Amino acid sequence: MKAMIGLEIHVQMTEAGSKLFCDCKANYRGMEPNSNICPVCIGLPGALPVVNKRSVELALAASLAFNCHVPDYIVFTRKHYFYPDLPKNYQISMYERAGGVPICRGGKVRYLDIHSWEWKECRLRRINIEEDPGRTIYGEGGILRSSEAYVDYNRSGVPLLEIITEPDLKSAREARQLVEYVLLVLEYLGATNPRLEGAFRVDANVSVEGGERVEVKNIGSTLDVEKAINFEIMRQSAIISSGGKVERETRHWDAERGSTRPLRQKEQEEDYLYFPDPDLPAIALRDMLPKAKAIASSSDPAALFEKAISLGVQRELAWSMVTARPSLMLYLEAVERGADPQLAARIIAVDYKGELREREKDPHDPANWPSADTIVELSRLMKEGAYTYDAIKGIVLPKLAENPAADLKLLLPQRAENLEQVIEEVLKREERAVKDYLSGKAQALNYLVGAVIRAAGKRALDPRAIREAIERRLAKK
């Protein structure tokens, strides 16, 4: 059955430094409960919000990246609802009516469908900047049955982008890819780290032909976006095919059970009593535009992807690098400094990445990648024929993955010409083995190779190169 899907993606600007309206930290992970709070973010009487300019700059950069219509100024709105984790019982958010002015109205996201390698489009209705509420932790039985709840306000006031799409998506897979792409863009802008626990949440509005729209809340991963929407399409389709009616309702995604269940039925339009927050005067965007434009244009993953392709990199490899930002940045820098585009891509996107995976090292952590100089040097050595790709792959990359900051000289197998003297000495000393080899005993060569390696001490050596060097030397005799 044909489905129509619209999303509301809430993304924390975890990298904004401070909360939206106070100096508490935007990234609260690993902190004791209720230790990242102040009078402003727990809404104590008389405390006043003062907007963190960095959040607005990042939100503006995101709006530009998504081709939004950006207003001259923004106006925050209060959205009222009573909830234990919302300390003021209103959320400072944005609204397009009642005097509010959101940072983006009417944009569009071009996102890559990596199954068909097609760029697709999804229109955006709006982007709001808003504050995250605190977090309620329920006792046994969860939100529906537990009799107790604990509230941690460390999250209260963290800057969020609420990205609302038009219902342009036709499948769960498209929805997932859109979310992944949006997160990628926001990561490139330096707004968020989508891999942090709870960094984003998605609500999906799903309808199938002949039914009402159902909102599915509480989707916490991109994989679950696909699962939850697929579940919902199947559920609704089954109702319709059996002659039933899909009513408008809000449902809760239960990730553990892999199903949605009703949260509240017969939903009436809630009245949030929106009005402009009188504590926050309108903020003119003009002064922030140049900086936001600079951020948006220098950090567009699509453009960087195209750049890698234009260097002759296969699209699969290019995309592999795009999805781990430090690897792409390393690649582009290395190529700019003279590394061979093909060799560098193969090292970075395939073999080094594989070594990291094997060691369970995070490819998103720049500290796990070597310097661009290292890549340039490896590329040069291979180009010059000093080493084969296999030698680098087999000997250097594993050690580099172990310690990306290691001195390349100590990792490189000793090149043949430097070994000549050692070989000369070994051949002089091992007269008998030389004789055996020359008289046709093949094992004698293995013995000589081993003797050279032992004599060379601790240096990393490529045995095949040594074997070749010995053969060359003895052939002259």
Q: Which residues bind another protein (CB under 8 A)?
A: 39, 42-51, 78, 80, 82, 84, 87-90, 98-99, 147, 151, 269, 271, 273-275, 278-281
Contacts of 403 (CB under 8 A, 6+ apart): none
Q: Which is nearer to another protein, 99 or 463 (CB)?
A: 99
Min dist. Cβ of residue 23 to another protein (A) = 10
Min dist. Cβ of residue 148 to another protein (A) = 9
Min dist. Cβ of residue 249 to another protein (A) = 20
Q: Which is nearer to another protein, 265 or 310 (CB)?
A: 265
Q: Which is nearer to another protein, 1 or 50 (CB)?
A: 50
Q: Which is nearer to another protein, 82 or 242 (CB)?
A: 82
Min dist. Cβ of residue 271 to another protein (A) = 5
Q: Which is nearer to another protein, 78 or 176 (CB)?
A: 78
Q: Which is nearer to another protein, 101 or 426 (CB)?
A: 101
Min dist. Cβ of residue 268 to another protein (A) = 11
Q: Identity (one letter) of the amino acid at 398?
A: P
Q: Which is nearer to another protein, 99 or 106 (CB)?
A: 99
Min dist. Cβ of residue 42 to another protein (A) = 7
Min dist. Cβ of residue 213 to another protein (A) = 19
C-alpha 349/C-alpha 269 separation (Å) is 49
Q: Which is nearer to another protein, 86 or 376 (CB)?
A: 86
Q: Which is nearer to another protein, 66 or 95 (CB)?
A: 95
C-alpha 58/C-alpha 40 separation (Å) is 22
Burial of 434 from C-beta contacts in 10 A (0-12 / 13-18 / 19+): buried
Min dist. Cβ of residue 149 to another protein (A) = 8
Q: Which is nearer to another protein, 88 or 176 (CB)?
A: 88
Min dist. Cβ of residue 277 to another protein (A) = 8
Min dist. Cβ of residue 28 to another protein (A) = 19
